[in-house]
Amino acid sequence: MDAPEQPQLYLITPPQFDLDPFKEHLAAVLDTHPIACVRLALATRDEDMLSRAADTLREVTHARDVALVISEHTLLAARLGIDGVHLLDGARSVRHARKELGDDAIVGAFCGGSRHEGMSAAEAGADYVAFGPARASALGMGDHAEEDVFHWWSEMVEVPCVAEGDLDEPTIRALAPYTDFFGISEIWSDDDPAAALKRFVAAMDS
């Protein structure tokens, strides 16, 4: 994925969903807003369920020239012929994923709030680095990617970065000048995901 002058939208699926209704929601969002990429991020490790979800979402995304990647499962990405993989272990699996998927695949790496891990992933050949959660919360240990990580990355590194995790409108507004993509999952809890995304886009543009 190429870095744009303005942040692009990168949709992340919920960790679980009913396939047919979600397919319709996703299609409605993709028909309403320009989307750069969709990440299949199911929490299950059931191969059949993941394969069926990937096949279904690929129909929706590829019909609209939108890339589809899958979280973690590099070999499954290769087998299903989807566009790439999103790795959750920072830089550690980037070279392996690149070898398995080839030069044309998308390989992304989630690096928490670590500049060092992000740099290592970029040097290993990641197409993008994701930082997050994008704001502090009471969940887990409360760890998050500080705003200055995005400032520093935008000034020092050419590899695109994604801001994701616990996004809200003020956070999007603050990070818009410093990130290449927003990885958005928060819209799926809304009755109208396309309308929810429209509010995020308005915050990004304000």
> Taking the chain, what is the end-to-end CA distance rounded to the nearest angstrom?
24
| DSSP for residue 39 | E
Cβ atoms of residues 185 and 153 within 8 Å: no
HSE toward the beta carbon, residue 9, CA cutoff 13 A:
24
If pLDDT is split at 50, 70 and 90, which confidence band does 169 have?
Answer: very high
Cβ atoms of residues 192 and 18 within 8 Å: no
Task: Count the neighbouring beta carbons within 10 Å of the beta carbon of residue 177.
Answer: 12
Share of the chain above pLDDT 70, in %: 95
- Tell me the residue ranges of DSSP E strands in the chain: 8-12, 37-40, 67-71, 84-87, 106-110, 128-131, 161-164, 181-184
Mean predicted lDDT score pLDDT of the chain: 94
CATH of domain 8-205: 3.20.20.70
Which residues, 6 or more positions from 76, have their beta carbon under 8 angstroms from its beta carbon? 47, 50, 51, 54, 70
pLDDT at 143: 79
If pLDDT is split at 50, 70 and 90, which confidence band does 121 have?
Answer: very high
Residue-range domain boundaries for the chain: 8-205
pLDDT tens for each residue of 11-62: 999 999 999 999 999 999 999 999 999 999 999 999 999 999 999 999 999 9
Q: Inform me whether the pLDDT recorded for 139 exceeds 70.
A: no
